[in-house]
Amino acid sequence: MSLHQIVHEKVDQAIGVLREKNIDAWITFVRETELMRDPAMSLIVSPTLQVTWHSAFILTQNGDRIAIVGRFDKENIAQLGAYGEVITYDEGIGQPLVDTLRRLNPQSIAINTSEGDPAADGLSHGMWTTLLDILKGTPYSRLISAENVINSLRGRKTEAEIARVKDAVAETEAIFDELTAFLKPGLTEIEIAGLVHDRMRARGLTAAWEPDHCPAVTAGPNSPVGHAAPGAFKAEPGHLLHIDFGVAKNGYVSDLQRTWYLLNPGETKPPAKAQKAFDAVRGAILAGAAALKPGAVGWEVDQAARSTLMRSGYPEYLHATGHHIGQTVHDGATVLGPRWERYGQSAYGVVEAGNIFTLELGVVVSGRGFIGLEEDVLVTPNGLEWLSQPETELICV
C-alpha cells in the first residue's frame, strides 16, 4: 500500500470524524509549504508533496473532497486522487474559495489553530488574517478549531498505518538483535551508537528522532540517564547497558527501549538486585498494559503503571508512561501521563481503539546502571496488541 493510499484512508477517516463531531467543513489553508508545512498535510494531502501558491484542502461531513490550488500545483494534487474536485486559479484564491463555500454552505468551519496542540496549529498568523480578509462579509467567518478532528485523525491509525509501524518496530528489533551479537565489554556509548547507526543505514532507514540522541545510550552506573547524547562511558562487565532507539521507515516510526546486562567472568545470570529491578519494571509495564483500553483516561493508565512500580519499592519516574507514535514519535495529543502541570490537558485525553502507544519506564540500579523498557502497543476494541516482542528477561551478553 503506497503512501498515497494511506492518504486516501485518512481522508475517508477524516470525513467520518467530521460526522462524528458534527462539524460541517474542515479547511486546511496553506502556501509555500516547502518553507513551512502544516503538519495536517501529512495526513490528508501527502507526506512529501509541496504546494506553492495559496491552497485550500476542504473536507465536509457530506463527503466533499475539494482542493483549491494554483494552476501549477494542479497536476500533482489531481494525481493524488484523494480530492475528487480540484479547482485551480490564476489570480488569487479568494474568489474560488468563497464560491466553493457558498456552494457547500457549511454552518461550522474548522481551521488548523490550537494553543494546546502544535500538530493542530499549522495555520500561520499571516494566513489566518488572509483567510479572515477573504471571508469578510460572508456568513463563513465564524471559525472553530480543528484540534479535536486532527487529534482523532492522528490518533486512530488505519490498517495501513498499523502495518507500517509494525514494520518499523520489526526493523528496530532486528537491529537490537544484530547489536547483541556485536556487543562486547569495553565499547563506549559513542561506539555502540555508531554500530546502531551503521545497522540502521545498512537497512536504508533513518532515525526516528534527532540522530545525535537516537539511540540514547546509557552504559553503567555513571552515565547520566535520559536523552543525553552518547558519551565516553564504557559498557563493562557487571554493568547494565540501556538503549532508547527507534527508526523511521516509509514515513512511520518505532520507539523502543531495551536493557542488556554484561556478565562478569563466570556469571551466568544477572545479579539478584538487577533481576528484582527488572521484574518490577516489567510488572509495571504489564500493569499499564492491562489498564490501556478504549475509554481509559491517560492519567489512569499512567497511574496503574506508576503505582505498581512504587508498590515494588522503587522511586517514581519523572516522565509519562506512554505517548502516541505514528508518523512521528509524539503522534497525538493524549499522553499516558500523571496529572502534572506540564502535561496540561494531555493527561486527560481518552484512549481510543486504533491508538498506538509506547509503554515505558525504568529504575536506576545502584552500582550497575539503568534498567528501562519501552514497548509499542496497539489499542484494539477488546484490549491490546503488542507490536513489539516484549523484553521479558534482561538480555545477557
310 with 284: CB under 8 angstroms? Answer: no
User: Residue 94 interacts with its own copies (CB under 8 A)?
Assistant: no
User: Residue 223 interacts with its own copies (CB under 8 A)?
Assistant: no
Cα–Cα distance, 57 to 260 (Å, whole number):
48
Count residues binding its own copies (CB under 8 A).
37
According to CB under 8 A, which one of 63, 81, 118, 186 is a site residue for its own copies? 118
According to CB under 8 A, which one of 5, 20, 32, 396 is a site residue for its own copies? 32
Cβ neighbours of 90 (radius 10 Å): 8
According to CB under 8 A, which one of 341, 366, 381, 382 is a site residue for its own copies? 341
Q: CA torsion 57→60→65→69, rounded to 10°? A: -20
User: Residue 201 interacts with its own copies (CB under 8 A)?
Assistant: no
What letter represents residue 144's amino acid? I
According to CB under 8 A, which one of 45, 67, 119, 320 is a site residue for its own copies? 119
Return the residues of window 54-83 that contact its own copies according to CB under 8 A: 72
According to CB under 8 A, which one of 7, 10, 14, 38 is a site residue for its own copies? 38
Tell me the β-bridge partners of 393.
Answer: none
User: Residue 130 interacts with its own copies (CB under 8 A)?
Assistant: yes
Please name which of 242, 186, 245, 235 lies closest in space to residue 210, comparing C-alpha atoms: 245
Instruction: Determine how β-strand 65-70 pairs with β-strand 85-89.
Output: parallel
Minimum distance of its own copies from residue 117's CB (angstroms): 8
Return the residues of window 98-117 that contact its own copies according to CB under 8 A: 113-116
Minimum distance of its own copies from residue 2's CB (angstroms): 15
Minimum distance of its own copies from residue 126's CB (angstroms): 4
User: Residue 39 interacts with its own copies (CB under 8 A)?
Assistant: yes
120 with 150: CB under 8 angstroms? Answer: yes
Residue found by looking up cell 491490546 in the block = 384
Q: Cα angle at 287 between 286 and 290, to 5 degrees?
A: 85
Q: Cα angle at 181 between 179 and 186, to 5 degrees?
A: 75
Longest dimension (CA), the chain: 82
User: Residue 124 interacts with its own copies (CB under 8 A)?
Assistant: yes
User: Residue 34 interacts with its own copies (CB under 8 A)?
Assistant: yes
Radius of gyration (Cα) for the chain, nearest Å? 24
User: Residue 140 interacts with its own copies (CB under 8 A)?
Assistant: no
Minimum distance of its own copies from residue 52's CB (angstroms): 9
Residues in the chain: 397
User: Residue 244 interacts with its own copies (CB under 8 A)?
Assistant: no
Q: Name the residues that contact its own copies, by CB under 8 A.
A: 31-32, 34-39, 50, 72, 90-91, 113-116, 118-130, 133, 209-210, 227, 328, 330, 341-342
